[in-house]
């Protein structure tokens, strides 16, 4: 089984609609993020729109959460105990996981962000071992 422990940096994010058509790039095309997955079973994730300035009328997308996690080789499941979105606290955040070369690809469930339902895929590069 591939190990996911370590610190990972967001390198790319894509979004598709229900028919598989590409949608505008998440996080304004300038996503910043880190995921830390500890060998002790604790994790934290932080993602945001990294643009210096947001266009007038726009909003800066920001998400963070942490908790205990399990990884079975194909799914990462985190029992959330703190989050920027209070609705996530106490929930299980399930992410399908696959690897493309050295990148870890996390695929959360389809959901509404700021418009139609989106299916996102987040590409992460390991930047440190733990």
> pTM for the whole thing?
0.92
Does domain 6-128 match CATH 2.60.40?
A: no
pLDDT in tens, 68-110: 999 999 999 999 999 999 999 999 999 999 999 999 999 999 9
Residue 60 C-alpha from the chain's centroid: 16
What is the 3-class SS of 78-123, one letter each residue? EEEEEECCHHHCCCEEEEEEEEECCEEEEECCCEECCCCEEEEEEE
List the chain domain ranges.
6-128
């Amino acid at each position: 089984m591939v190990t996911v422990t370590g610190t990972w940096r967001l390198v790319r994010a894509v979004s598709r609609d229900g028919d598989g058509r590409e949608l505008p790039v998440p996080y304004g095309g300038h996503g910043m993020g880190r995921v830390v997955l500890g060998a002790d079973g604790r994790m934290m994730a932080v993602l945001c729109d990294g643009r210096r300035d947001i266009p007038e009328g726009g909003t800066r997308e920001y998400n963070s959460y942490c908790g205990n996690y399990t990884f079975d080789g194909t799914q990462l499941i985190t029992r959330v105990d703190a989050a920027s979105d209070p609705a996530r606290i106490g929930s299980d955040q399930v992410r399908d996981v696959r690897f493309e070369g050295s990148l870890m690809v996390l695929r959360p469930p389809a959901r509404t962000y700021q418009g139609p339902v989106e299916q996102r895929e987040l590409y992460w590069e390991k930047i440190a071992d733990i």
